[in-house]
A and B are shown apart, each in its own frame.
Chain A
Amino acid sequence: MSPQRKVAVIGLDCVPPELAFDRWRDELPTLKRLTEQGCWGKLKSVVPPITVPAWSCMMSSRDPGELGIYGFRNRKDHSYDGLAFATATAVREDRVWDILGRAGKQVIVLAVPGTYPPAPVNGCLVGCFLTPSAESDYAYPAALKAELTGRFGAYRLDVENFRSDEKERILEQIYQMTEQHFAMARHLVTTRPWDFFMMVEMGTDRIHHAFWKFSDPAHRKYEKGNKFEHAIRDYYRFVDAQVAGLLPLLGDDTSVFVVSDHGAQNMEGGICVNEWLTREGYLALAEPVAGPTPIGQAKLDWSRTRAWGEGGYYSRIFLNVRGREPQGVIPPGEYEAVREELRRKFEAMLDEKGRPLGTRVFKPEEVYRVVRGVPPDLIVYFGNLRWRSVGSLGLGTVHTFENDTGPDDANHSEYGIFILREPGLKSRRVEGLSLMDIAPTILDRFGIAPPAGMQGKVIQGS
């Protein structure tokens, strides 16, 4: 591939290939046209397929273990409550824009997860949805914030009060947020010199979590003919139109990527992981809980607790190891045996009707090239992510169909989307792509060899 002048990446968080390429292919003329002008396919995410760390993995071509970022919050040490948010400062590896900036390329980075607080770049950067508020200093250079606020109003970071049945309000907020972000994108690419542009839109993730049950007949709460039956499809059309509005501003000779960090699927229910650990004899309470109680607020009897878990779209299991945790009980020599026993039991879990759940369990050192920071001892996908992990205790059941934090209809899935449109490319479906491949491929388009240690490969256009 001869070096080209410009690369643009449009990130659409959580878009699954099943919707973009299959179910609604003909509803999304812009994405369809891009696939007809380039190569495209499923993009394999990382373990875990979660916004943080997935976008930073994609942009650095390093796996979560190498980044030492295993989720939004990570253990700082082996204490029981030392969880720290993984913000931009936790990302120690170069991301594509760092490398390009040093090579003299001008970059625009807009709302890419893992960019708050904003770090200097050779160009401009607008921090991601982990910015605390629209009043925070989220831009580099700092003066950019006033410019954007003056034109587009307060930065719409995310949907507020998301866990709610006020679906009309949530839908409106998602549209407003997406509209503003694409307007900012159009503004930035037309007012600043750039070689590399990247944005990530989170609305595509939010709409899945809030509206999946209304549109998926396979969802246990689906009702045919409901008011929001087409909410996701209509929003996808809207996003497709937003992409259409941006494309002419990017230039015909520009390599344009449209990518997502993971997919989405029907959420069948939740597994109360700590309830299960209690029943299996791994976790003991010092005092009984009165009703549903987050694990962090329950009083655990650490002298009788061997393992506990975190809630979320997937579960992280931590073992209470003597000499490692403050009141550890598992002798170090038995650590591996306990971990293996737990893995086998998780894998053998059944659903509420006694059918195999199909749970997958990962040991960090088996899936990552290097394991940095304080990793979980096990990473668990209940029902291969068709079930979420519920961390609260006191629900009185292992299987739940009501979330401990409010309604949510979708969970993540392992594959996102990849489209690359480039002059001279023939339309081609490509197999075997990984999100690790994106950063080396971007660098390749600038004629820059991927640095040693990047885990992905260059995707050849032809």
Chain B
Amino acid sequence: MTNDGQPKGQRGTRGVTLWFTGLPCSGKSTVSQIIYDELKKRGGRVELLDGDEVRTRLTKGLGFSKEDRDENIRRIGYVCHLLTRNGVIAIAAAISPYRAIRDEVRKMVGSFVEIYADCPLEVCIQRDVKGMYKKALAGEMKEFTGISDPYEAPLHPEVTLRTDQETPEASAARLLRRLEEMGYLPGGAAVPEPYTPEEEAAIRRRLEQLGYL
């Protein structure tokens, strides 16, 4: 912040929906939270709709049948659509196992980036953050994606995160760079330079002489 109270690096952003999809425990929530925090820090208008939290409010009462799952995604998608058209970066992190409904949301939103948290099932089972896989494997949970319910991986995601091969921070950094390259975010460290070309040349000469470059 500068002392006039304005956040540093505040910049205009255009609306976009960042749609995370993947198996339970594939890293969607972790990476989306990092992205959310980073975009907040950059001063962007950003909202995070996490699947688990949404199910306690917006889509409370819906179950895990295909119909209910599709309705769940349709509602999250609709909120993302509203946010996106108002210039907000909407981040959705939900399993969203069915390709057709994801494509339907893509069509509705328009400005849509599908991010596939690609992680082998066995790694997700090892992670098993909430012990759900254990229950599903013991037959105690019906309609559990990856075990007793299908997951349809995206065919053409804009970004694929190999969350079993890189840290959440590395995944997030790669995604941010991709968003910068796609023009949804102003380029990371690339800020307008305060030097004129002549000044820059003089500074470069000085730093070369000093051995820094």
Using a CB–CB distance below 8 Å, which chain A residues touch chain B? 50-52, 68-69, 71-78, 82, 84-94, 98, 101-102, 116-117, 119-122, 130, 132-133, 136, 158-163, 206, 209, 310-313, 336, 365, 368-375, 388, 403, 405-406, 408
B208 touching A405, Cβ below 8 Å = yes
A200 vs B103: C-alpha distance when bound (angstroms): 56
Secondary structure at the A interface, as helix, strand, loop or mixed, is loop
Residue of B nearest to A130 (CB): B203
A368 vs B165: C-alpha distance when bound (angstroms): 17
Q: Is B1 an interface residue (CB 8 A)?
A: yes
Stretch from B89-97, B142-150, B186-194 that touches the partner? B186-194
Residue of B nearest to A333 (CB): B162
A102 touching B188, Cβ below 8 Å = no
**B184-213 near A? 1/0 per residue, CB < 8 Å:** 000111111111100110110011111111
Using a CB–CB distance below 8 Å, which chain B residues touch chain A? 1-5, 8-9, 34, 38, 41-42, 165-167, 169-170, 172-173, 176-177, 180-181, 187-196, 199-200, 202-203, 206-213
Residue of B nearest to A159 (CB): B210
B189 touching A374, Cβ below 8 Å = yes
A77 touching B187, Cβ below 8 Å = yes
B42 touching A117, Cβ below 8 Å = no
Q: Which residues of A contact B207 (CB under 8 A)?
A: 72
A365 touching B167, Cβ below 8 Å = yes
Contact residue among B169, B210, B213 (Cβ-Cβ distance under 8 Å from A369) = B169
A368 vs B196: C-alpha distance when bound (angstroms): 32
Q: A74, A90, A158, A209: which has the most chain B beta carbons within 10 Å?
A: A90
Contacts A89-B194, A120-B2 given; indicate if A365 touches B206 (C-beta within 8 A). no
A368 vs B189: C-alpha distance when bound (angstroms): 15
**Closest CB pairs A-B (n = 7):** A373-B189, A76-B190, A132-B199, A373-B188, A68-B189, A371-B173, A365-B170
Q: Which residues of B contact A102 (CB under 8 A)?
A: 1, 3, 5
Contacts A69-B189, A74-B189, A84-B191 given; indicate if A119 touches B2 (C-beta within 8 A). yes
Q: A89-B191, A92-B8, A310-B213 are in contact. List 20 more A-B contacts (CB 8 A).
A: A52-B212, A69-B189, A85-B203, A87-B194, A90-B189, A120-B2, A120-B4, A122-B3, A132-B195, A133-B199, A159-B210, A162-B206, A163-B211, A311-B213, A313-B211, A313-B212, A365-B173, A374-B177, A374-B189, A405-B211
